[in-house]
Structure 1
Amino acid sequence: MTQKSILITGCSSGIGLDAARRLHAEGWRVLATCRDAADCAKLEAEGLESFPLDLTKQSSIEDGVKETLSRTGGTLDALYNNAAFACPGAVEDLPSGALREIFEVNLFGLQELTRLIIPVMRAQGHGRILQCSSVLGLVGIRWRGAYVATKFALEGLTDVLRLEMRDTAIKVILIEPGPIPSNIRVNSIPHFERWIDWKASARRAQYEASLLKRLYEPSSKPDRFQLPASAVSDKILIALTVANPRARYYVTKATWISALSRRILPPRLLDWVMAKA
């Protein structure tokens, strides 16, 4: 049986790293990409195929696709768009530059990579595109406006892509994790420090009482809804292998509860619930 291939973005840690390891162990040919070459070297040291792919650079996206196809002989069975980052801060304090920067990775770069891969899948007559969304693609919480905006946009873009691909053999699937251990909090700090002038904000006291503590002094107590990254990999494997995958795969109880709450609660009550989150 021919070994199936998958291209994954954002494999330096967390969900992407676990997915790359799991699929490799399951017999997939995994092309695990990272933004930094040093992270790629670490993956290669443990036996994974890896090369740089920076979603903020058109040339890197194009080179990544060329490298992928040169290694696979011009085919690709699946794409898992996982790479993303966060820039915490109150919406009223978010400069447009911060939004442009986060959308460049979490949506625009992802879309460009997908756009370049679809013709390959069309030509071979099959393919699966998995998009890593989030519980924050279903509901919003305070301080996460920029990240929430990208994930809501990804949800809409993916829904339309799935509809448009109905007349092809390309399956489009959303993976929607809730709380999963990762480096996203630590990695968000430089973006927060670059873009958010919290000291001059009308919400300075709230930053000091809430967000700063969460960023710089995280609780050692685990989230009661938290699951390991392997729980996401479990859903990814299902989405890649079942004959008729679902449109969405929720991971963690938090995601299931949020999806249900969005359906049945009136907006004011949902706002109250999410304000407590």
Structure 2
Amino acid sequence: MSARSILITGCSSGIGEACAHGMRARGWRVFASCRKQADCDRLIAAGFESPRLDYADEDSIRAAVDEVLAATGGTLDALFNNGAFALPGAVEDLPTEGLRSIFETNFFGWHTLTRAVIPVMRTQGHGRIVQCSSVLGMVTIPWRGAYSATKFALEGLTDSLRLEMHGTGLHICLIEPGPVTSKIRVNSIPHFERWIDWEASPRAEQYRGSLLKRLYESSGPDRFELGPEAVLKRLIHACEATRPRARYYVTTPTYLAGMLRRLLPTALLDRVMGAG
């Protein structure tokens, strides 16, 4: 039998890269995609098949899917939607075009790719679609409105897709990490600088006192932070278990957020999350 195949996005670093190596070690044929060709070339040198895939470019999505299917003879066992970026800043300072930009990558591109692989999986009678959401798709905190909005939207769309795919042989799963080691903070800086005019904001002093330090100064691992291998563990179960779960929590803050969302009234939850 040929190896099971999986397409993983956002493999240049962090969760995607760790999952690509981990799934290959388990015998999967891994297509480790990246947005930049230079990162793809690095992974190809490491022995991966690495199609270039930019969620903000529909042509690249379709070309990547075509490349994968040409290599496998028209099959794909699993898709792990993972690539995303953050755009920190107060909601009132967030231009609508900035919000459109993050949705294009974190949400619409995922939808385009997911729709491209569903017919393949439907025809073969099986498949796993795993979405890397976030604790910020369950609850939100100040300064993270744009990112949370994409993850809340993803959660709703994925829940609907899971219900609609019941009985088709396709399993749809969400992985919901909390703090996991990655480059998302550093990678968010260009987006912040492009879209947020914080010096003209009525919140300028709040930016100076909190967000700017958090964004530009590395203070070491967050409390409860885990390595990306913690996400790999959930991905393995989602892709290999006979009955995968609808949701996989990763890190203590995710479990805590899930509990607080169920138990606390909104006003009290606001106080907890607003305090950071």
Q: Does 1:249 align with 2:248?
A: yes
Q: Distance in 2 between matches of 1:134 and 1:122?
A: 27
Q: Shift in Å at residue 84 of structure 1?
A: 0.5
2: distance between equivalents of 1:224 and 1:201? 30
After superposition, give the CA deviation of every residue in 1:158-194 in whole Å (9 maximum; x if it has no partner): 0000000003100000011110010100010000000
Aligned to 1:227: 226
Segments of 5+ residues of structure 2 without an aligned counterpart are: none
Deviation sequence 1:28-78 (CA, Å, 0-9, x none) = 000000000000011111111112011111111110110010011100000
**Partner residue in 1 for 2:133:** 133
Q: Deviations over 1:209-255 (max 9, x none)?
A: 000000111213x2221111001001100111110111000000110
Paired residues for 1:98-137 under 5 Å: 98-137=98-137
**2:232 & 2:116 partners in 1: Cα distance?**
25
Q: Which runs of 4+ in 1 moved over 4 A?
A: none
Between stretches 137-146 and 39-48, larger displacement belongs to: 39-48
- 1:96 matched residue in structure 2: 96
Residue 274 of structure 1: aligned partner: 273
In structure 2, what is the equivalent of residue 68 of structure 1? 68
- 1:170 and 1:264 map into 2 onto residues whose CA distance is 32
Which amino acid in 2 is paired with 1:2?
A: S
Matches within 5 A, 1:133-212: 133-212=133-212
Aligned residue number for residue 58 of structure 1: 58
User: 1:52 is paired with a residue of what secondary structure?
Assistant: coil
Q: What amino acid sits opposite 2:209 in the alignment?
A: A
TM-score by length of 2: 0.99
Distance in 2 (alpha carbons) for counterparts of 1:251 and 1:145: 21
RMSD across aligned positions (CA): 0.7
Q: Percent identity?
A: 63
Paired with 1:4 and 1:105, the residues of 2 have a C-alpha distance of 27
Match of residue 235 from structure 2: 236
Q: Distance in 1 between matches of 2:177 and 2:217?
A: 23
CA distance in 2, matches of 1:60, 1:240: 25
